[in-house]
Amino acid sequence: MMNLSSPELTELYRQCIDRCLPFWYEHGVDHERGGFFGDVKDDGSLGSDAKGGWYQGFGVWLFAYYYNWRREERYLQAARHGWHFMRDHGRDTDGNWVMNLSRDGEILEGATSVLTDAYLAHGLVELHRADPGEGCLEAAREMLLRVRELILRPDFCLSAPSYTEPHSLNGAWSTLLYPVSDLLRECPGDTEMSAMADLCVDAIFQKHLEPEMGLIVEAVAPNGEPYTGRQRNLVKPGAAAESCTAVMIEADRRNDPDLRRRAVEILSAHFEAAWDRDSGGGVFYEIDLEGNPVEDRKAAWAQAEFMRGFITAMATESDEWIVEAYERVHNWAFEIYADGPDDLWRLAVTRDLRPDLGRKLDMVHHPRMLLSILQILEARMPG
């Protein structure tokens, strides 16, 4: 069984970070105009110079987080300039945060997803920790309150573009819970944010968790009834793992071991349902409630979210299955998605391991997984 306290594993993650963060700083940052490119290939070239709203918020978080950990000034500047780009260009005439911008800041797609707000709010909380003088915490709180207002409407349709009918989306609730939980660490007495954290956890576990199978249905109707669109009763295991990690982090803030344990057990249920035992491994992108794959794609981000979830679980739990499950995903994913052990991961493969979605790289889940895991591993190192 893999030794998760081994210096070799920690060193591997250090090497991955030393490869990943400089790559995204060089190729994913618009050093001239500010903001971040999300469509970057493994040779550093751009598939597009558009700046997606999700990537702007996540880029602010990524570089601010790394600065707060390692104190390299260039990463703080990248985060600041990314926020300034969005602050100056990222809202429509009604003040709503938009989904896509040109390199120069022209709006290409309007305010079609509240995940733009949630990712940006998370980035601003992290940027506040680096530079409290930017007014980021107040801006983040305003964004989160706006999302709460929208997401509770019975006709809500502004999560991800593929969900066109009114819905509640598991991935939206977890993406919202991360910044809410982090903001509460900065402002523990904020009763509105505390109520919002409860709202997020309750939505995941009461609206989206199917009790008989123990799996999180990705999209349901706003009242929790089955979704009426084509994605009815489907599970996205990677998004479920992401939600379990968000709940574990929030449980730590609350010092609630029972809530944390529940998230760990739900994480286990999704791994058992989604791991491909017939074709050599990997977590499926999407399954039904019986665990049958809906398509054969295996997205790198889903593997990354399970790896991050298992290591987060391991921080407080001692179950052997957690180490075994992490080892299975780790060995499979490091072999399949990259050309070398410290290389960046491409987006997806098919069930027979053919590359899917080209040579585009993942700016969101892969670097966040590396940073999260390395911090936990370093905390476990003796001395």
Residue at 170 is within a domain? yes
Tell me how far apart the alpha carbons of residues 193 and 216 are, in angstroms, rounded to a whole number. Answer: 24
DSSP 8-state code for residue 99: S
pLDDT, residue 291, reads 93
Is the pLDDT at 124 greater than 90, yes or no?
yes
pLDDT at 92 over 90: yes
Give a yes or no: residue 95 inside a domain: yes
CATH number at residue 73: 1.50.10.10
pTM here is: 0.96
Residue 2 lies in a domain: no
Distances (CA, A) of 70 to 24, 63, 67: 16, 10, 5
Q: How confident is the model at residue 230 (pLDDT cuts 50, 70, 90)?
A: confident
Helix axis angle for 115-130 and 170-186, nearest 10°, is: 20
Question: In which residue are the tokens 């199917």 written?
Answer: 210
Q: What is the pLDDT of residues 268-301, one digit of tens each?
A: 999 999 999 998 899 999 999 999 999 888 999 9
Instruction: Supply the range of the domain harboring residue 168.
Output: 7-380
Closest to 53 (Cα-Cα) out of 116, 4, 141: 116
In sequence order, which residues have a C-beta less than 8 Å from that of residue 26 and are 6 or more positions away?
A: 44
Please report whether residue 1 resides in a domain. Answer: no
Cα 60 to Cα 1, 57, 67, 163, 256: the distances in Å are 37, 5, 11, 26, 30
* pLDDT for 251 beyond 80: yes
Nearest CA-CA partner of 204 in 231, 165, 241, 258: 241
User: Is the Cβ–Cβ distance between 130 and 61 less than 8 Å?
Assistant: no
Is 80 exceeded by the pLDDT of residue 383?
Answer: no
| Res 358: pLDDT | 63
In a domain, 91, yes or no: yes
Q: How many Å apart are CA 46 and CA 337, to the nearest integer? A: 19
Q: So what's the pLDDT on residue 357?
A: 59
Q: How many angstroms separate the CA atoms of 71 and 23, rounded?
A: 17
Mean pLDDT of the chain: 94
The answer for 7, left when phi > 0, alpha when psi is -120 to 50, beta otherwise, is: alpha
Residue 360 in this model has a pLDDT that exceeds 80: no
Chain segment 175-223, per-residue pLDDT in tens = 999 999 999 999 999 999 999 999 999 999 999 999 999 999 999 999 9
Domain count, the chain: 1
Average pLDDT over residues 363-379: 95
Is a pLDDT exceeding 80 seen at residue 355?
A: no
**Domain presence at residue 363:** yes
Q: Tokens 């880029």 map to which residue?
A: 59
In a domain? residue 275: yes
C-alpha distances out from residue 128 to 14, 166, 183, 277, Å: 25, 34, 10, 44
Let me know if residue 24 belongs to a domain: yes
Answer whether residue 322 shows pLDDT above 90: yes
